Amino acid sequence: MLHVSLLRPYNTSNDVLFPDQTKPELYDFRIDNEHEWFIDELIGHKFSGHNNKNLEFEVHWSTGDTTWELYQACKDLTALDRYIELRGVSKIAQLPQIRS
């Protein structure tokens, strides 16, 4: 609790009173389109969408994040070749039909 008698009017910073005061710069968290992310491995898959026609892969990124990505985004990855090999199949069509 704060007693009302302790309140004072607010005065903005004054460069004359505080000449060496600097304002902190805000960090820009936006990422440019040329930034590349690296995939550690594909850790799962599922079929989703109407009639389960969309194949998605669970991607573990080098940043530690895990996301679901459509097959179209993963089709040229060496991580996909490794995933298929570890599942004991030779083609995408042979993956088990895991539904979301």
What are the 10-residue block averages of pLDDT along the chain, 100 residues in total?
Answer: 87 74 71 77 91 90 93 94 94 84
pLDDT, residue 100, reads 62
The model's pLDDT over 46-72, given as tens digits with 9 standing for 90+, comes to 998 887 789 999 999 998 999 999 999
pLDDT, residue 85, reads 94
Amino acid, single-letter form, for residue 59: V
The CA distance from 48 to 55, in Å, is 6
Confirm if 83 and 96 have CB atoms less than 8 A apart.
no
pLDDT, residue 73, reads 93
**What residue ranges do the domains of the chain occupy?**
38-100
Amino acid, single-letter form, for residue 49: G
Q: What fold, for 38-100?
A: OB fold (Dihydrolipoamide Acetyltransferase, E2P) (2.40.50)
